[in-house]
């Protein structure tokens, strides 16, 4: 075992902290740990003094975290981050750690203070980017599972989501709306759910190659209500922060077939009675439907589809959003 420096008395006070504390020399050799560290990790102080601090690595912490830590400590500035280590039992230990360089005379020491993530307030250790990513994937899985009968559905949903993102951001910027980022993310992620109500529609009507009868059309026009019912039943069962805000999703599902002039369905809403998120998705959904081959129609060219949207602004579509959409091409 490597000979190490003795722990200076100036650092002994850190060992009284309630969080797990580990103190090393400049080579990251452990000089001392406190009782909390021993209790949490299961490693006895007498067994690990003189050992490199990284002995509890699990190889599950990403490389970028270690690079960031090394860069900061090389400059002798404090660093904070998330580590995934292993306890003596083999159990994973997720912890938030702050490492502070501490110079006494000519010697450099590092004070590591760990806090188990389970002790933190809910949500603090999950980054917003990660929450957004998980939300997006959860809603994608839900949407695709509801429309699994049609192998072309996934591509349609992904295209609608991508175009919704482009249109909403362009419309926000063009009109200086200063929409909240959280709201915009909700619209983008939830757009993929717009047609989940079709899961309750008979296949014979959904994929009928010819024109629908009046009766069949009435059944199809029920899919926004069916979709909202599916969403509400699911959200009652899942009490989880990632997907607990469903109002935007419900608006998209219920109202994306409403028309600006009030002739849409299922509620014949008119103009700005239709939520913004539904007005955005309405244009994107129609454009993708027109430019895609369906059992009952051939695909249109982009030019023809854009001309249709232009002709129907102020009738089917919000005119300002329609103009923004056309400008994207």
Active site residues: 198
Greatest Cα pair distance in the chain:
89
Rounded distance between C-alpha atoms, residue 239 and residue 244, angstroms: 6
Q: Is 31 helix (H, G, I), strand (E, B) or coil?
A: strand
Rounded distance between C-alpha atoms, residue 193 and residue 15, angstroms: 53
Q: Where would I find the beta strands (DSSP E) of 172-299?
A: none
Q: What is the DSSP string of 240-283?
A: -GGG---HHHHHHHHHTT--TTS--SSS---GGGS-HHHHHHHH
Q: Is 94 left (phi over 0), alpha (psi -120 to 50) or beta?
A: beta
Helix (H) or strand (E) holding 156: helix 153-174
270 burial class (0-12, 13-18, 19+ CB within 10 angstroms)? middle
List Cβ neighbours of 105 (8 Å cut-off, separation of 6 or more): none
Q: Cis before residue 128, ω within 30 degrees of 0?
A: no
Question: How many CB atoms within 10 Å of residue 271?
Answer: 13
Rounded distance between C-alpha atoms, residue 15 and residue 8, angstroms: 12
In angstroms, what is the C-alpha Rg of the chain?
29
């Amino acid at each position: 075992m490597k000979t190490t420096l003795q722990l200076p008395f100036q650092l002994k006070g850190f060992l009284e902290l309630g969080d797990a504390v580990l103190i090393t020399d400049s080579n990251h050799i452990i000089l001392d740990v406190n009782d909390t560290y021993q209790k949490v990790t299961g490693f006895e102080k007498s067994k690990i003094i003189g050992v490199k601090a990284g002995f509890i690595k699990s190889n599950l912490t990403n490389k970028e975290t270690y690079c960031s830590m090394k860069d900061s400590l090389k400059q002798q500035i404090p660093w904070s981050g998330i580590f995934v280590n292993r306890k003596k039992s083999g159990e994973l230990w997720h912890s938030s750690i702050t490492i502070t360089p501490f110079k006494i005379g000519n010697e450099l020491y590092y004070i590591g203070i760990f806090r188990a993530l389970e002790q933190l307030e809910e949500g603090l250790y999950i980054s917003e980017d990660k929450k957004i990513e998980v939300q997006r994937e959860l809603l994608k899985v839900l949407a695709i599972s509801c429309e699994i009968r049609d192998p072309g559905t996934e591509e349609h949903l992904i295209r609608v989501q991508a175009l919704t993102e482009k249109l909403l951001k362009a419309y926000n910027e063009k009109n200086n709306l200063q929409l909240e980022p959280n709201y915009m993310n909700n619209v983008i992620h939830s757009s993929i759910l717009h047609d989940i109500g079709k899961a309750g529609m008979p296949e014979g009507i959904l994929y009928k190659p010819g024109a629908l009868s009046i009766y069949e059309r009435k059944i199809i026009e029920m899919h926004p209500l069916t979709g909202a019912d599916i969403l509400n039943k699911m959200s009652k069962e899942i009490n989880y922060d990632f997907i607990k805000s469903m109002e935007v999703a419900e608006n998209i599902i219920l109202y994306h077939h409403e028309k600006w002039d009030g002739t849409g369905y299922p509620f014949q809403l008119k103009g700005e009675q239709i939520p913004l998120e539904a007005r955005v998705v309405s244009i994107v959904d129609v454009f993708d439907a027109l430019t895609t081959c369906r059992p009952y129609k051939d695909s249109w060219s982009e030019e023809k589809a854009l001309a249709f949207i232009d002709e129907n602004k102020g009738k089917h579509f919000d005119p300002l959003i329609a103009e923004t959409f056309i400008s994207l091409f």
